Structure 1
Amino acid sequence: MGFYSKFSEQDLIESYKNQLDYQGKPDQEIINEILSRGSLEDFQDKIKSQHLFLNEQNRLIREIHGHYMNKLSKQECLSLLSSDFLSDKTIGILVNTKYNQIHRKVENLKVDSDTLMFSIFGTIVASVVSTIVILIVLYKFIFLSVFAFGLLIPAYIINYWIIGLFTGKTRDNLAVFIATFIATLLNCVYSIFLINYS
């Protein structure tokens, strides 16, 4: 049994393509495995078909993105798309998937009044909660006080998580990113204040 005998067809294709990319030609062992499963020409035709399929899929994705940004509905977008390689059902799934992904991304980046309000509220709550958590950790594990500034990393993560819960958005959103940074600065202020007055 050769090295490639347990490879699935897709794994064999990927290995073959990698060898072409990095070595300029496939080694004899992979050629032997391909020939044991059929002809080299059929195998290369499958690679070409996959390449054409991926190119066509990427072309459609670019068009879908453009139609979304031009504020066309899914139905309008579907009526404008056609393909020689992909079925109408596959195009429909692609449109639904991409419209939903793009919509989530656009909504996530949006900074509206609700996002600002929840970010401010989240900043206050997150900074207090993360400071309490860090102080409890320092109290329980006093030896960690040597790494006090290093504890700002878990504080940042706690802050981001809480602010994300309040806003429903990720750090890609500018308001969430700034709010998390401010909450972490507040951790420093609270900690210094508590240390000086304890």
Structure 2
Amino acid sequence: MSGTLSRIATWIQVFLKDYLSSLPFKITGPVGTVFWILSGISEPLLAIIALLIHTCPPVIYYLQYRPFGIRINSTPTKLNGGNREPDKIAEKHGAAKLANGQCTIHLLCDISDYLDEFSIRFSTPEEIEIELRDIPCRSHIYDRKKCVLQGKDIEKYNFSIVLEVYDESGSQVREYPLRIYNERSGRVIEEITLKARY
């Protein structure tokens, strides 16, 4: 039972840390407070409006931006004169180009200091293979079969991952989804469209 309460407390801390630093809170917090003050002076309707201003944005924010505690920013790369460089156009569109059936994607991972463990799963269709160039930290465990990276007793909360992506199927499919999940919640943290370009 105490384990469940501890997980709930951690979840609340992670959510509040994210939400209280967000733009929706910075706007609705003061506006809602003004309505609370005005409701004490005159209309009960203003109290209802104030209540909605304080409760609706956090609920919407939670539904739109969950899961909390793990952030990943992806940067696909492209070959230019034999060297790899960031492909900012593809990054802007949430994509990565498969040149001759392969590409390299750099991921910047930020784990909340409220968490003491994490589990990230990389998911692609069967035609696509993913390899981690290396395991980011000594304490991390990578399950190649399941494509799951786990960290327990986190020492480093910011790290980078280099993903090598291969399509050797010769399929005519031109686009594939690459989804990165928070394994514990089952929610997608980041989604990248792999675009074939032969």
What TM-score do the two structures reach when normalised by structure 1?
0.28
TM-score, structure 2 as length reference: 0.28
**Greater CA radius of gyration, 1 or 2?**
1
Bigger helix fraction? 1
